[in-house]
Amino acid sequence: MVPVTELEYNVFNAAAIIGEKKSMVEITESAQGYLRDLLSKQEGDKVGIRIFITDPGTPMAETCIAYCPEGEEQSTDERVEYDGFGGWIDDRSKPFLDEALVDYAEDRMGGQLTIKAPNSKVPKVSDDSPLEDRINYLLHSQVNPSLAEHGGMVTLVEVAQDNVAVLQFGGGCQGCGMVDMTLKDGVEKSLLEQIPDLQGVSDVTDHSLRENAYFK
């Protein structure tokens, strides 16, 4: 996907907030007009939008809209048509985009595009959920509340091809002298016990930075 400018990023990367319940990803006429104008200024005549959520079903969930030239969408994306332009919805994000609303309102600063996605942070996890969603759910519901007692946290960076969870520690866990024990006896043990198809975990944190470490 084509990266947007800093100004456009601030407009496109709208924070999810609780709002009125609507059908999945409804875009108001004013928002469609605004997006249509932005898209008309892009090079090429087949640039649409892609709607997705980062870290869906977690407190860190963020609902985003990005430029997406035709051919750069994911194979599992759902094609949608709006007035004068097309778009794609990320398949993994669809359950969390239920009742989402995109709107545009003019103000003295020009205007603002907003996204109301009331279900973006609501956990929707089952045995059939993607591995990333199951890992994120356990990290945010079980692991991080415990790490927070020492000012620490851990996030999922990615799931490697061999089903290994690549993790990154932050706060009091970064550079902590006990982080190896936390990883092996705490985080890894908890994840492997509850997610049978997970093969292991790895830590990509730069632990040479010890400024906030709980145990130095």
Check which CATH number belongs to the domain holding 159 and give it: 3.30.300.130
Q: How many structural domains are present in the chain?
A: 2
Q: Are residues 146 and 108 in the same domain?
A: no
Res. 16: pLDDT tops 50: no
Boundary of a domain, candidates 51, 86, 116 = 116
Determine, yes or no, domain membership for 208: no
27-71 residue pLDDT tens: 999 999 999 999 999 987 789 999 999 989 888 899 999 999 999
Taking the whole predicted model, whether its pTM rises above 0.75 is answered as no
Q: Which domain range does residue 156 map to? A: 131-203
Boundary of a domain, candidates 67, 88, 116 = 116
Res. 200: pLDDT tops 70: yes
Q: Are residues 29 and 96 in the same domain?
A: yes
128-175 residue pLDDT tens: 889 999 999 899 888 888 888 878 888 999 999 899 999 998 887 877
Q: Are residues 10 and 105 in the same domain?
A: yes
Where b means 16+ CB within 10 Å and e means fewer, 120-154 reads: bbebebeeebeebbbbbbbbbeebbeebeebebbb
Q: What is the pLDDT of residue 22?
A: 36
